[in-house]
Structure 1
Amino acid sequence: MTEQVVKTLTDPSFLIAMLVGIAVFATVFTLMPAFGGTSLKSRMKSVALERDKLRAEQRARLASEADRRRKGLREEQSIGMRNIVDRLDLKRALADENTIQKLKVAGFRGQNPLTRFLFFRLVLPFVGFA
């Protein structure tokens, strides 16, 4: 049995057939990508489209969260202050046209800045003495 294996492995026609087979395999393996076509361009295009879609979705989600958070914080912060200012009627007692004009010049327009100003005008003297 071993003699048969040694005889086959040392046979020149068998060795040539093996080398030819290895060479054919290497040639086919080397040329296969050239005949397979290039799917890289289409893959890159689909990846770019998917990336743009994900980026747009992420931006939209972040923008909606920021709007919701910004609106929610404004309302949430000023509700308690507004209740105190309305209960104590501080607008009538402390705010005049000159105060509103000074706030506008400083860049604070609207009811929320006036409410905050009146609230802190009431609270800060107590905080200062504490």
Structure 2
Amino acid sequence: MNPAALLPNPDLIIAFSAAISVCGAILVVSWPYFARDQLSARMVQMANERERIRARERARLNAKAKTPSLRSEPKKLFKDIVERFDLAKRVEDGDLAQKLRMAGYRGQSPVVTFLAVRAIAPIAMFLFAILYVFIVLRLQHPLFVKLGIAVAAAWLGYFAPQLYISNKIKKRQEAIRRSWPDALDLLLICVECGMSVESALRKVSDEIGAQCVELSEELSLTTAELSYLQDRRKAYENLAERTGLDGVKGVVTSLIQSEKYGTPLAHSLRVLAQENRDMRMNEAEKKAAALPPKLTVPMILFFLPVLFAVIITPAAIRIANL
């Protein structure tokens, strides 16, 4: 039997291959018309989810309307003082309002209260110093010395509110700086799990509240701003302005770039979390290195005299008994 007779017809193979190729080409060209538009459905789903988040955040804000809020109306006395001294222009000062926001005081009421207290404090301190120096102590000093003490008290009363706000800002920034690396780790875990930025920030604000109330408050406010502000970039920039920390500004820049260009956020958060953790460790090492010079004077004043007394006293007693 001829082996060539067992082979299939070459023309049949070529025709069958051509038919398969034509069918495949037709299927490839027509596939987009038969497949579902996943992108449009995904975009509609994301838009609906965003609207649900906004509605939920607005409902939470409305539910808390009866509780003490972050913003309150200024007292009538303070408003009258501000109007009396013509300080209405300072109320609209953006730098002053920004300072008070960094200290944790938001709204128009803290600005009015600060200006009123700054106007009252010098007068009150001056009168108190006059009463204390002339009536209570009855100092036997020249008149200009007594008036100088009263003027110094008035000067201190003028700058005392500003010093209080500056101290409040430093303490608040220090608390946020200590807890910021831990918050970034939690945010990284939430983002890598597939959570959205709003959900991740809300979760982090809930978890970090036991460690740092200030940071929890700022993240909760940022979550609320993301739910109702049209420009999401403004919400991130507000977070950086309220804290005034370089570490927070770096994270805000990464969030803005991720929103605008679609860059991966997880890698940036991991790098920034490590950098902030290193910065926190460096600050701790600086404080530890500064302890020996600070302890030198207390040791000379308090420790060495006691040590000398313990060493010399037994010898002095023996010499006295001879």
Name the TM tier (shorter chain): 0.3 to 0.5
TM-score by structure 2 length?
0.23
TM-score by structure 1 length?
0.46
The one of the two structures with greater contact order (alpha-carbon pairs below 8 A, sep at least 6) is: 1
Q: Which has the larger radius of gyration?
A: 1
Structure showing the higher helix proportion among its residues? 1
